[in-house]
Amino acid sequence: MNEHDGGTMQTIRRFLGQSEMCAHQMRLNALYIQRELPNVRMNDELQQRTAGLCSGLIATEHNLLGEIVELDALLRSGGSDAEVLRLIERMVKVTWDDALKMHEIVMALAAESQNDVMNIGAHLLVSESAVNILKPLQKMRGLAAQLREVLT
């Protein structure tokens, strides 16, 4: 990687920290949803989608942690700006893809709760977890945008 000022390296390190926080939130919230899923009402199709989402979030958490290690190694070995940026973009994309899947389920659960107020618990469970994941993900995306400006 080209030598950058301390500010750029600090932004990359903050991106890595937010990525780690996002991965951590994905796992914690997926496990929480899995644990609480039997306690809320939802139709079978949404229950299967939600269970699949949780499995996907845990898999993404593992992948994201691996990418964090890979990015750190790339920084230490002097990888090019293009390589660093490509890895950052990949990390954001895979995480954002899961957020979009979660959004689809939250919206479907919201619609179900409109039809049957007893389904509100499922909507609250998944939407609360989505917010917990979106907070560090939004910070990741913002930092990635800043890095896109200086690394291209």
Asked if residue 10 is part of any domain, the answer here is: yes
pLDDT for 8 equals 85
Rounded distance, CA 147 to CA 87, Å?
A: 12
Query: What is the CATH number for 121?
Result: 1.20.120
Give residue 59's domain range: 6-151
pLDDT band (50, 70, 90) for residue 140: very high
Rounded distance, CA 14 to CA 16, Å?
A: 5
Higher pLDDT, 19 or 79: 19
Angle at 102 between CA 120 and CA 132, to 5 degrees: 80
pLDDT band (50, 70, 90) for residue 90: very high
Neighbours of 105 (CB within 10 A): 21
Asked if residue 93 is part of any domain, the answer here is: yes
Cβ contact 130:106 at 8 Å: yes
* Stated pTM of the model: 0.90
Asked if residue 46 is part of any domain, the answer here is: yes
Q: State the total domains in the chain.
A: 1
Asked if residue 29 is part of any domain, the answer here is: yes
pLDDT for 80 equals 87
Asked if residue 40 is part of any domain, the answer here is: yes
Asked if residue 38 is part of any domain, the answer here is: yes
Asked if residue 123 is part of any domain, the answer here is: yes
Higher pLDDT, 19 or 76: 19
Asked if residue 1 is part of any domain, the answer here is: no
